[in-house]
Amino acid sequence: MSNASPPLIKPITLGSGPRAVTLETPVILAPLSGVTDLPFRALAKSLGAGLVVSEMIASWAMVRENRNTMRMAEVVAGGGPSSVQLAGCEPDAMAEAARIAVANGADLIDINFGCPVKKVALGQAAGSALMRDEVMAGKILAATVRAVDVPVTLKMRMGWDHNSLNAPTLARIAQDTGIAMVTVHGRTRQQFYEGVADWDFIAHVKAAVQIPLIVNGDITSGPKAAEALRRSGADGVMIGRGAYGRPWFLKQVADYLRTGELPAPPTLAGQKEILLRHYAAIRAHFGEKGGVRLARKHVSWYSHGLRGSAAFRAQMNRLDSGAAVEALIDSFYDPLIESGFIRQDEMALAA
């Protein structure tokens, strides 16, 4: 990709009328259970994510206004649109959950037909299981679209397995029911997260519909994002695991897709500042005890690739005090910052 190349992404407008949503930057943070909580989404949005999507919310729990569920569905105020993702197998419950989410500030509703987890797909007949029941899938999509005046989107996989790659068919059903945009993860349910995402197959889904399509799966660098767009013909990218420990990554990808230049990541001092901001937000949102525990995985991801990180993580995971963890972060990062340490992956990107 050169500076003379046209941008690979452009704004996408979803829906029409006063509640239409324009994604100025279609580089989207994927919904990730246990990861994309409100602190993570707020941070990613502040650092340049074009759209952030909540953790998957069970429709029945939303309807019952379960306290923890309502906290999971909180939207990020200001700075562009936020989406709430819903999962369920009953059209009426999905419709009511969507109404509640919109009343609480959601700019978009996303429907999950992609979750591969056994508890959801088999135990609840939701998530990716709905790719095996196109009639019920259509009823859920139609009921949700009718229930709200904001755009409704869909996230799914290629199919249940390689013998039933029906994402193009479901995309057409979605379009016919009024779904405004479709995201496809380039794996089947049976693959879970193994193997390689098939961006070429997603081109068949793109050819089946006129609504915008987003490609998802294995997007871990700017060049991979560009390749995914070229091979799929998609209108934007969704990034999940690639953003672990680097919430600034979505802005890097967006800049690369617009300019062809690989932007530098924040300096290590800048990364430490973002980590501490994230850590404080987690503790404020979940409370000291719960926050310290929940933050451990994030701190581990931030430190990945840094010299001595294994010992740092082992020590951090034994601490129960937020102040003690912050002191440990200082003692770990500051010598690296002073020495000018650069991660190997960052050196590769700069080459």
The neighbour count for residue 65, using CB atoms within 10 Å, is 9
The phi and psi torsions of 231 (rounded to 5 degrees) equal -75, -30
CB 216 within 8 Å of CB 240:
yes
Pick from 37, 112, 106: nearest CA to 77: 106
Q: How far is CA 143 from CA 134, 146, 188, 250, 351, in A?
A: 14, 5, 25, 32, 51
The neighbour count for residue 293, using CB atoms within 10 Å, is 14
Q: How far is CA 73 from CA 132, 212, 241, 291, in A?
A: 27, 25, 20, 18
Residue listed under structure tokens 């490609």: 215
DSSP string for residues in 108-171: EEEEEE----HHHHTTSS-GGGGGG-HHHHHHHHHHHHHH-SS-EEEEEES-SSTT---HHHHH
The angle formed by the CA atoms of residues 321, 322 and 323, to the nearest 5 degrees, is 90
Active-site pick, 56, 115, 171, 253: 115
257 vs 255: CA distance, rounded Å: 6
Q: Is residue 89 annotated as a catalytic residue, yes or no?
A: no
By CB atoms closer than 10 A (0-12, 13-18, 19+), residue 264 is exposed
Q: How far is CA 20 from CA 47, 112, 273, 315, in A?
A: 24, 21, 35, 48
Q: How far is CA 101 from CA 72, 144, 145, 242, 331, in A?
A: 11, 11, 13, 27, 42
Active site residues: 115
